[in-house]
Amino acid sequence: MAGTTKKLVLTFTDREGKNMSLSYSHVSAELEATDVKALMTGIITNGSIFASTPVTAKGAKVVTTSEDDIDISE
């Protein structure tokens, strides 16, 4: 199945300075930096979903993946 997908990857650091990431598969075309920052702030504030609590928002990116089928039938 050919197509293009996008996911939002949020990167945080924990108290020990280790990186941790969280990915979202459904990215809105209207995604704004202010929305991402608010989301990351909320995750830090309510960090109890992680085994190690995030303390700093390190970065965010949208990863676009393109897939092209290859016909291998003879």
Instruction: Per-residue pLDDT tens, the chain, 74 aa: give them.
Output: 678 889 999 999 988 999 999 999 988 888 999 999 999 999 998 866 777 788 999 999 999 999 998 999 98
Q: Return d(Cα 3, Cα 63) in angstroms, integer.
A: 14
Q: What is the pLDDT of residue 61?
A: 95
Neighbouring C-beta atoms of residue 57, cutoff 10 Å: 17
Give CA–CA dist 29/47, Å, rounded.
Answer: 26
Sorted by where each begins, the domain ranges of the chain are 3-67
State the pLDDT at residue 1. 64
